[in-house]
Amino acid sequence: MRIDIITIFPGMFAPLEQSILKRAAEKKLLEIKLWDLRDFTQDKHRKVDDTAYGGGKGMVFRCEPVFNAVSRAKNENPCGKVIITSPQGSLFTQEAAKKFSREQGLIIICGHYEGIDERVFSIVDYEVSIGDYVLTGGELPAMVITDCVARLIPGVLPKEASVDDSFNGCLLDWPCYTKPEVFNGLRVPEILLSGNHKKIAEWRCKQAEERTRKKRPDLYKKYLKEKS
């Protein structure tokens, strides 16, 4: 999969060159291309924003550089679905990540300032928010979307690795333990040392249900509805 990211701060994206995403790129499963929005301006000051018509505080992304950047990205990633990060967007979920991972490509526009010229939305396929809070810009949401989607691309992780992730099947993950068997008087549950894989699976399922019931009753309610 190819993911193009349009931003005014390309230097922020160094984390995408680490860990699992780095290995995915080395295996040619993922390609990430950064586009500096300022390269698509027409003035010597490389200005990407301006004051809003009708007045008001804050600056607004101008439509021309965004249109130009998306057009260039589309030339190299013609099947890329265009996503814009925005507080007004649909909440990004694991289901959304699965949907995006099935696309041939993505083009992510990092929102900024007070907003973006409304005409930009005429070329946008998805408007996405990662949560009900305010960030300084769309770069962090773009990284979250990229990371979450990339790990679902076939071959990026071992086949079993993402199956039991939290939020798959509406349940949070079960408790995990590793060596040593006893630490500061705290013991690993005996069931996990039993070698009885059926009993271990049953224990993990019950633990996941109870953890979800306590920590995320909204998800637990959804789980019971799907289970019935």
Q: Of 175, 182, 181, 183, which Cα lies nearest the Cα of 214?
A: 175
Amino acid at 118: E
Distances in Å between the alpha carbon of 14 and those of 73, 79, 135?
Answer: 20, 25, 19
151 catalytically annotated: yes
Catalytic residue selected from 50, 114, 125, 202: 114
Catalytic residue selected from 46, 87, 204, 210: 87
Distances in Å between the alpha carbon of 145 and those of 25, 70, 165, 190?
Answer: 16, 18, 16, 38
4 catalytically annotated: no
- How, if at all, do strands 105-109 and 80-91 pair? parallel
211 catalytically annotated: no
173 catalytically annotated: no
Q: Of 115, 88, 107, 116, which Cα lies nearest the Cα of 146?
A: 107
**How far apart are alpha carbons 208 and 224 in whole angstroms?**
13
Rg for the chain, CA atoms, rounded: 22
Catalytic residue selected from 64, 165, 209, 210: 165
Q: Of 214, 212, 215, which Cα lies nearest the Cα of 227?
A: 212
Which residues are catalytic, by number? 87, 114, 151, 165
